Amino acid sequence: MEDIENKTLFAPSPDDLSSLVDELIDGIIWLDINLNVISANHAFVKLSGYHEHQLIGKELNTLFKDDLSSVRNQATEQRQTFGPCNLINKDGYEIATVASFLRLNHHRDTIIIIVHNMSDLRELQDKVRKYKDRLEWAHFETRQAHNEAKQANQQKTLFLANLSHEIRTPLNGIIGMTELLMNTEINNKQSHYLACVYEAGEHLLAIINDVLDLSKIEAGEMPISQTQCSIHHIIDNMKTIFGPKIEAKNLQLNIHPLEKDLHVITDPVRIKQILVNLLGNALKFTESGSITLSTSCIPCPSDNNKMLVTFEVTDTGVGIAADALGTIFQKFTQAHFDAPQSFGGTGLGLAICKKLCLLMDGNIDVKSQENKGSTFSFTLPLMINHEPKT
Ligand SMILES: Nc1ncnc2c1ncn2[C@@H]1O[C@H](COP(=O)(O)OP(=O)(O)OP(=O)(O)O)[C@@H](O)[C@H]1O
Ligand SMILES: [Mg+2]
């Protein structure tokens, strides 16, 4: 075992200490009681730009921009910091430093000042400040550009909404007059022509309505009413609208309503609008088989007064390719490249459905397999109406 007790601590010689002081990065000066330099290490000589002999006898206050004379009374054995303060080098340039001072116990007449060069740090700080300024400016510009784009978009939306409204009014006149004309005495050929005009008018009106709705939603101006209604009533309504059309296409319509009707306070017009879009798509993209409309509900976990009601439209139609599923809720997006020619439409229906669902704090989802069919489902948190009007 080693003899620890006989070990002695290494005692550096005065020469060792002197070289160590010269190797330090920080500058050191020794001052007499009048604050005149009596010695300086290598680092300080380098920092100040003076020769060592030029430094000897120099007054402390000629070396610093700041008045350091208070160190005479304040210096103790505890190292204290003065600064940041600026050293003035031989050429008159200011160098940012932090000075600290102390007085050794056995050398009461000597004050030691240790000078740490901060100019690199200052430079770095300046750079950081400049980057920060630039970043703030870029942020400001981005915000401004964002606001301008938002404003431009709102103006565009408003323009579109106004335009759609202006087109809708005369179009309703055309459709109405065509309908009246169809009820007058005309021959078969004329009747066929008028039916074509009527159908085209209706089609155009549907597109304009979609554009108008989308513009309203995007401008944040789509009102969502709070009306008393029943889920059974909404489903019955869909059956009335779509029953004949589905039958006319030789498809089977299955309806699975809630076991017990649920009375809610919501915007039934918007729920019907979503269902009309989904059932319209199911009808458009299904040539054989069936279309099923189901509803289910569960209590809303975050609110006792609400139920999460899910509406589901399933068809046995052409289905949607997996790679197209992610984009079909975007506006003007169609999953079938021949959709406009073969099926008609502009690719706005599902975008409107999604936006309406979000507006009503719900969500919409799709599952589909090509050539097997699709299921679109949306879930809304609906306020329970405990006292329904009878
Ligand atoms: N039930 C469905 N079966 C197969 N594909 C569907 C079905 N529903 C939607 N799609 C696909 O999603 C696309 C987008 O549907 P969306 O309802 O948004 O537009 P659209 O029906 O083509 O036109 P619009 O609804 O504006 O008249 C459709 O073009 C179609 O490719
Ligand atoms: Mg559609």
Evaluate whether residue 1 is within a structural domain.
no
* Cα–Cα distance measured from residue 355 to residue 143, given in angstroms and rounded to the nearest whole number: 25
Atom of ligand 1 nearest to the CA of 206: 27
Task: Give yes or no: residues 111 and 132 share one domain.
Answer: no
| Assigned domain for 389 exists | no
**pLDDT digit string, tens, across residues 330-371:** 988 888 777 666 677 788 999 999 999 999 999 999 999 999
**Rounded to the nearest 5 degrees, what angle is found at the Cα of 202, between the Cα atoms of 197 and 204?**
95
Interval between CA 215 and ligand 1 midpoint (Å):
19
Cβ atoms of residues 349 and 262 within 8 Å = no
Kindly state the DSSP code that residue 201 receives in the 8-state scheme.
H
Q: Is the CB of 349 under 6 A from ligand 1?
A: yes
Secondary structure (DSSP) of 324-340: GTTTTTSTT--SSTTII
Identity at 119, one-letter amino acid code = S
Closest to 295 in 3D by CA, of 377, 388, 386, 381: 377
Q: Do 234 and 211 reside in the same domain of the chain?
A: no
Does 189 share its domain with 319? no
Residue numbers of the domain that contains 48: 9-117
What pLDDT, in 10s, does the model give residues 283-320?
999 999 999 999 999 999 999 999 999 999 999 999 99
Pocket of ligand 1 contains residue 257 by CB under 6 Å: no
The predicted model scores a pTM of 0.65
Check pocket membership of 350 for ligand 1, CB cut-off 6 A: yes
pLDDT, residue 41, reads: 93
pLDDT at 36 over 80: yes
pLDDT-wise least confident of 30-39, 78-87, 222-231: 78-87
Using the atom order of ligand 1, give the atom closest to the CA of residue 339.
29
Closest ligand, as measured to the CA of 336: 1
Q: What φ, ψ does residue 93 adopt, rounded to 5°?
A: -80, 145
CA angle (247 as vertex; 243, 250 as ends), nearest 5: 150
Give me the amino acid identity at 382: L
Instruction: Indicate which CATH number applies to the domain containing 94.
Output: 3.30.450.20
Mutate to test the pocket of ligand 1, among 284, 318, 350 (most ligand atoms within 8 A of CB): 350
Confidence of residue 5 (pLDDT cuts 50, 70, 90): low
Is residue 153 a contact partner of residue 161, using CB atoms and an 8 Å limit? no
Residue whose CA lies nearest to ligand 1 atom number 28:
334
Give me the residue label for tokens 């017009």: 269
Q: How many domains does the chain have?
A: 3
- Among the candidates 84, 117, 150, a domain finishes at 117
| 194/317 same-domain check | no
Determine whether the shortest distance from the Cβ of 334 to ligand 1 is under 6 A: yes
